[in-house]
Amino acid sequence: MTDGARFAEDITVGEPLVLGRRRLSEREIIDFATLWDPQPFHVDPAQRSHPRFEGVIASGVQTMAVLQRMCVVGVFSSWRVVAGRALGDVVFHQPVLPELELHGEARVESVELDRPRMGLVRLHSALRDGDGRPVLTMVTDTYVERRHFTSP
């Protein structure tokens, strides 16, 4: 991780960002869901109650957490982040099965510099499977410190 050297003025609209790869084991899926989303299709490998899945699938909350961690490590750690503002347009395109290879990517959609001390950066991020098909997509708005404060 870096020292958060990039100010809002340093962030370029359209900038593509590669976020890395991750796989979730069955044990990770069950452990997370046991604490945060204990539905049978997340915690019971033997469940047969869901008409579409055999075994466990990752919770949507866990899938979002994976993407968030990728964004923090791959992007936000090099930005002078003040705080998150919004999360939206969350779409779960397909379930995350144990050992599915997830690839993270993001793109800067906009940078607004209309606030005195911080800019608002909109980031479109995604997890894709090994074949490039979307697993999860979402948009986040994050406040990033400005290099030169303007008078209010």
Instruction: Please report, for residues 72, 121, 131, the alpha-carbon distance to residue 9 in angstroms, rounded to integers and kept in the order given.
Output: 19, 10, 35
On whether the CB atoms of residues 104 and 21 are closer than 8 A, the answer is: yes
C-alpha 29/C-alpha 43 separation (Å) is 7
pLDDT in tens, 128-147: 999 999 999 999 999 999 98
Q: Using one digit for the tens of pLDDT, what is the confidence trace for 20-53?
A: 999 999 999 999 999 999 999 999 888 766 677 7
pLDDT at 149 over 80: no
On the question of pLDDT at 152 being above 60, the answer is no
The rounded Cα 98 to chain-centroid distance in angstroms is 18
Q: What is the pLDDT of residues 87-115, one digit of tens each?
A: 999 999 999 999 999 999 999 999 999 89
Percent helix, strand and coil across the chain, each to the nearest 5: 25, 35, 40
Instruction: Decide if 14 contacts 108 (C-beta within 8 A).
Output: yes
The domains located in the chain, with CATH, are 8-23+60-145 (3.10.129.10)
The pTM of this model reads 0.90
